[in-house]
Amino acid sequence: MVANAYQPTDSETWENLGDRWDAHDSFGWAEDGIRGHVFADADNTTVVVAIKGTSSTFFLGGGSETSARDKFNDNRLFSCCCAYVDFTWATVCDCHMSGSKCNATCLQDAMNDETSDNYFFAAAQIFMDVVTQYPRANIVFAGHSLGGAVAGLLGITFGLPAVGIEAPGDRMASKRLHLPVPPAGAAGRVPLFHVGHTADPVYMGVCSGRTSTCYYAGYAMESRCHNGQQLVFDTVAQRGWRVDMRHHRINEVIYLALEPWGITDPEERMPTLEPEDKDCVDCGLWKFVYEDSPQ
């Protein structure tokens, strides 16, 4: 479903989901912003909202009409401070103060601006439309990459299951959006799941800094901490893969990492579902200053 979110329903590369699921509705395909599909089972008791991730030649999934807005949302959601990396970068908001100091109040205001092509708020409106159309259905959010992070943010907001595949760290964005936080000790019971593997630099939070491929493509992918629970396939240790942006592609994730796991090599064991790392820190070298606090 998350692979199909990248393509229209009449695409020649559409993934066959079998008889159980059907793409009942689609959203965003006439526009240049958030896109995806709504899948439902035969009696409409379970509905999956699949959200497209970033379309970019950099991510090797191919560019599209949405590439510019996808990139804007990547840099808004996953950068430390408005995608300010150095003086050569064009920022997505004006909250950088100096050096590694950022105006946190400005940053939160910018993140909560519903009129600035913010995919989170657009996706929330799509969810409300889906609820109206399927009032008795069990709704699940899903997505890959940027789409997986947005799915996770929706799951936290509405208390519904969400599955992200190779999504960037979403914890920092959820805090800046002031989304609900599960009570202490309850994180393992939240139906929010992130699936990824260790050779994907975006999922692992290592596609940052001046030597990274993200830097050269203008993506400030600086977050690394995830909400919810994680299922991590160690393709580096068990497959000998190198960390490489090519391993972020959804088709490679499905057909080279997840689907053959434990089949081609019986020694490969399924990873266990682990709760979020409470000690994980995003943007530890930055100082965030609130306007109502001393400098």
Contacts of 11 (CB under 8 A, 6+ apart): none
Residue with tokens 């991510």: 59
CB 69, CB 150: distance < 8 Å: no
CB 205, CB 170: distance < 8 Å: no
- Residue 145 annotated in active site: yes
Give the DSSP per-residue string, 93-128.
SS-EEETTEEEHHHHHHHHT-TTS--HHHHHHHHHH
Q: Is 43 buried (19+), middle (13-18) or exposed (0-12) by CB count in 10 A?
A: exposed
Q: Cα–Cα distance between 188 and 231 in angstroms, integer?
A: 12
Catalytic residue among 56, 145, 174, 208: 145
Measured CA to CA in angstroms, residue 80 lies from 12, 176, 282 at distances of: 39, 11, 8
**Three-class DSSP category at 226:** coil
CB 160, CB 140: distance < 8 Å: yes
**Three-class DSSP category at 209:** coil
Tallying the residues shown for the chain, one arrives at 295
Give the DSSP per-residue string, 12-34.
TTPPP--SS-EEEEEESTTSSS-
CB 147, CB 52: distance < 8 Å: yes
Residues annotated catalytic, as ranges: 145
